[in-house]
Structure 1
Amino acid sequence: MTDARHITMQFMILSALLFLGRGMASETLETEHAEADLDHSGNEKGASLNVSKRPSLQPKETAPATGSFVLKNRKGQVCVKANLGVVYIVIEDKKKSFFNMNPKSTMATGYCGDQRAVLSLVFEGGNLEFTFIKEGSVTYVSKMKAVLEPQPPCEKCKSKKYPGIMDHEKLFSATNGKSFMCNSETSLILADSLRIKMVPLQIQAFDLSKGTFGNEVECWADYTKRIVPIVLGAVAVSVILIAVLVYVLLRERRGQNYEQL
């Protein structure tokens, strides 16, 4: 009986040790699994670390920041260069909202050919694309495309995309080797719900000597702003001269009439 009790006690001790060993092993495995679900920063894998950087529409328009973008060919030569500030104008239910493109978060991509080049300015939630054509001694933009996918206005609101395009055009025309420049606002209607405003704008494709802009071709708006004050000044001076001349002639004529009397 004593031997039976002794054997029973040994069996119970072994069972208890085995149970404790399994429990410790289970805790170790659970700890390892928990650590495996964490990345090096201590955040759970699968959790989104980046807050959405999609465009946020604003109710009021502000001046955009000016960015400088270049595109190089396979030889490492600059084939397209653009300095510009861009404002996206979204029209929804006759209400305008605005987004300024941030040059610091915008990347220039595309390609360069001998007669055709494409410059695409890409950022999170949108892009703006220029297609350049070299035709004889003239270079111009034949097509412009843009798309904007802003953040929804509310958590339960659906995301909307606003695409637009202008094709078969001859925009920003300049003689080869020269750049098109406009300090005035350049507004383009790409769709009923999307407009693009660029201010300022200097752009050139092909024939960029040492990667720098050529002589500027002035846009009509800048030309008008520069010429109109000169013309108005000349007209004002002419009117004053005519008035003085008429006054002198009338005075001389009256003097002659007095002498006759």
Structure 2
Amino acid sequence: MKTAVLICLACCALSALSLAGDSKKNDPSSSMAPAKQFTAASTTTKAPTTTTTKAPNTTTTTTKAPTTTTTKAPNTTTTTTTTTAAPPAPSPTPPTNLTVGNYNVTNGKQICLMAHMALQIKLANGIFIVQPKDTNAKGTCDKTTANLTLTFKEGNITFLFNKSVANNTVYVGALSFSLSYPFMKTVAKPYNAKNVSTHLFPTKIGHSYSCKNETIFMGSGLYLEVSQNQIQAFNITKDTFGSPDLCPADQSNYKIAIAVGVTLLILVVIVVVVYLLSRRKRTSGYQSL
């Protein structure tokens, strides 16, 4: 019995020794394989993590760049437009409508010359209209002469009146004007005209001259047009115009009406004579039974 137990113990001891030897031979290869696999796996997982986090930062920086460029562009365009704006060209200032003005000249406390008229200067390339609100009237009166000068920013117009007691007439014997005005929106050009051989606006002493529209040729393509004109120099009573003497254009002309009436009368007479002659011929053709 004891022998059998010892034999079993001996066999167990030998088996244990043999197993220990085998485990010593196989342990190095099995332990190094897992270590290499773990290291490789940990290295692989860290690399993609680093790449993924940097990519979105680069994308965010790219989106900010166009925002800065877009905001600067409109500011530059606005500044350039304001700086290069050209000033407007000079243009005529008086309006195109005719306005009637009242102009007086006094001798002491008494009015010696009165004028009620609208004035415009005509050229080949334009018209200048005198504005009464921007015009000053001045002048002098003597026994046989009087003058009226209308002054405005662009120039002046002067009327010189003569009084002839022998002929019982008052008239304008000289007329002149001076004008500097840019008719073609350019630099103002001076225009000067004078006519000393005129016999304008004739009227009896104590009467006023009246005309709806009258154009006066001043030479060199210059004209002075006077509209709605009523003017009187000398012998003014109670600061009112005397009896108006109309210009030829405003006077009633009956000559044409008379000529037309005479022509119609002659035609009627001719028709009556022709009718009577034709009736006489028909009557003479019949014979009595």
Alignment TM class, shorter chain as reference: 0.5 to 0.7
Structure-2 separation of matches of 1:240 and 1:88: 45
**Residues 35-57 of structure 1: per-residue CA shift (max 9 Å, x gap):** xxxxxxxxxxxxxxxxxxx9648
Structure-2 separation of matches of 1:121 and 1:100: 13
For 2:257, the equivalent position in structure 1 comes to: 233
- Give the 3 Å change call, closer, same or farther, for CA 247–158 of structure 1 in structure 2: closer
Structure-2 separation of matches of 1:243 and 1:72: 60
Q: CA deviation at 1:194?
A: 2.8
Are 2:208 and 1:202 aligned?
no
For 2:112, the equivalent position in structure 1 comes to: 79
Q: CA deviation at 1:211?
A: 1.2
For 1:250, the equivalent position in structure 2 comes to: 274
8 Å Cα contact 1:57/1:150 also seen in 2: no
Q: CA deviation at 1:116?
A: 1.1
Normalising by structure 2, what TM-score?
A: 0.61
Partner of 2:269: helix, strand, or coil?
helix
8 Å Cα contact 1:55/1:124 also seen in 2: no
For the aligned residue pairs, the C-alpha RMSD in angstroms reads: 2.2
Higher helix share: 2
8 Å Cα contact 2:94/2:131 also seen in 1: no
Q: CA deviation at 1:80?
A: 0.5
Partner of 1:237: helix, strand, or coil?
helix
Structure 1: runs of 5 or more not aligned: 1-53
Give the 4+ runs in structure 1 shifted more than 6 A: none
> What is the one-letter code of the residue matched to 2:191?
Y
Structure-2 separation of matches of 1:177 and 1:69: 18
> What is the one-letter code of the residue matched to 1:138?
T
Q: CA deviation at 1:191?
A: 3.7
Of 147, 155, 177, the match for 1:118: 147
Structure-2 separation of matches of 1:89 and 1:204: 24
Matches within 5 A, 1:64-143: 64-74=98-108, 76-91=109-124, 96-136=125-165, 137-143=168-174
8 Å Cα contact 2:215/2:226 also seen in 1: yes
Structure 2: runs of 5 or more not aligned: 1-90
More contact order relative to length (CA 8 Å, sep ≥ 6): 1
- Give the 3 Å change call, closer, same or farther, for CA 151–222 of structure 1 in structure 2: same
8 Å Cα contact 1:85/1:200 also seen in 2: yes
Counting aligned pairs with the same residue, the percent is: 26
**Residues 116-169 of structure 1: per-residue CA shift (max 9 Å, x gap):** 111111111111110111121221111111111114755xx5432111111133
Normalising by structure 1, what TM-score?
A: 0.67
Structure-2 separation of matches of 1:114 and 1:87: 30
How many corresponding residue pairs? Answer: 193
Of 170, 173, 177, the match for 2:199: 170
8 Å Cα contact 2:99/2:131 also seen in 1: yes
